[in-house]
Amino acid sequence: MLVFKSLSDWYSGTNKLERLWLLAKIEFKLRYYENKLGLFWALLKPVLDIAIYYVVFQVIMKQDVPAFASYLFIGLILYNFFLESTSGTVQILNTKKYLYEYSNMNKLEIYISTLMSNVIGFSFNFVMFLLFYNFLEPESTGASVYNFWIIPIFLNLFIMSLGISLILSNIYIIAKDITQIWQVFSTLLLFISPIFYKLSSFKKALPSFDYANPLAGIIINARRVMMQNIPPDFDLMFFDFGYGFLFLLIGLILLNKLGARAAEKL
């Protein structure tokens, strides 16, 4: 299997994880370095997004969704992780050319360290969600053992984001229009995922679309285990992991075929 072989080849060196963690921390700090509020933006931005969408969809459009603020909160932080991890890496082979040209870094490490920096940001937001849902949300059902299912669900999101990042950035080598195309598609994805709407309305409008849209399945299962205290939909999870590994396989193939020529093309 190309996926396991590539990952095994990459891991065979020494100090890989330590180097990845160091790069991820640097990447995360640099993102907010020039802002006066610094790292506080990592918490403030999603809170502001949630406030805006809450006013639009709950106050103005009056969505009849229980615990809507928390419903929106967890949907948005998962979507934002996916968006930052995919849109933010489209030009990565160009912007971080110096890393793989003048050091012994594997290209795959550059992607993984960037996604790990996004994991740090997601962790801040997820802790905020836990505090809000368990201590401030009036309709909270409290914590349960099913909450631990969020770990494989998030792992699924990480694998899918890594695969799509590899695909987009390697297509960018031969077609730079992919940046604009992905911006349009990611906006479409925001509105065809059950982030703002009641799940029953989403399924009625787009029957079986939760199986065609892996991000929808991940959000649905995250809410099941974090807010409804029930196990994930295992059929949906099976499909979503399948999508994740398929995207990762395609991404690794493209990295082997196109990524090798990135330095001369970009």
Question: Between residues 2 and 192, which one has the greater pLDDT?
Answer: 192
Structure confidence at residue 65 (pLDDT):
84
Compare 129 and 48 and report the one with higher pLDDT: 129
In degrees rounded to 5, what are phi and psi of residue 177?
-65, -15
Report which of residues 45 and 229 the model is more confident about: 229
d(CA 193, CA 209): 9
Token pair recorded at residue 260: 């090798």
Q: What is the mean pLDDT of residues 197-217?
A: 87
Mean pLDDT of the chain: 86
> pLDDT (tens digit, 9 = 90+) per residue, 2-23?
556 666 665 565 577 888 888 8
User: In which band, very low, low, confident or very high, does the pLDDT at 207 lie, cut at 50, 70 and 90?
Assistant: confident
Taking Cα atoms as reference points, which of 123, 107, 108 lies closest to residue 42?
123
136-146 confidence digits (pLDDT tens): 888 898 899 99
Cα dist from 214 to 102, 240, 243, 259, whole Å:
37, 5, 7, 26
- Tokens 């699924």 sit on residue: 156
pLDDT, one tens digit per residue, over 235-258 is 999 999 999 999 999 999 999 988
Q: What is the pLDDT of residues 68-125, one digit of tens each?
A: 888 989 999 999 999 999 998 888 888 888 777 777 778 898 999 999 999 998 998 8
- pLDDT at site 250: 96
Q: How far apart are the first and last CA of the chain?
A: 29
Q: Note the pLDDT of residue 4.
A: 61
**Dihedral sign of CA atoms 52, 138, 43, 233 in order:** negative
By residue count, the chain amounts to: 266
Task: Quote the pLDDT of residue 10.
Answer: 58
Query: Looking at per-residue confidence, does 154 or 66 come out higher?
Result: 154
pTM to 2 decimal places: 0.88
pLDDT band at 260 (very low <50, low <70, confident <90, very high): confident
Q: What angle do CA 51, 55, 58 make, to 5 degrees?
A: 115
Find the radius of gyration of the CA atoms of the chain: 19
Digit-coded pLDDT (tens) for 118-137: 999 899 889 989 988 999 88
- The answer to whether residues 199 and 236 touch, using CB atoms and an 8 Å cutoff, is no
pLDDT at 242: 97
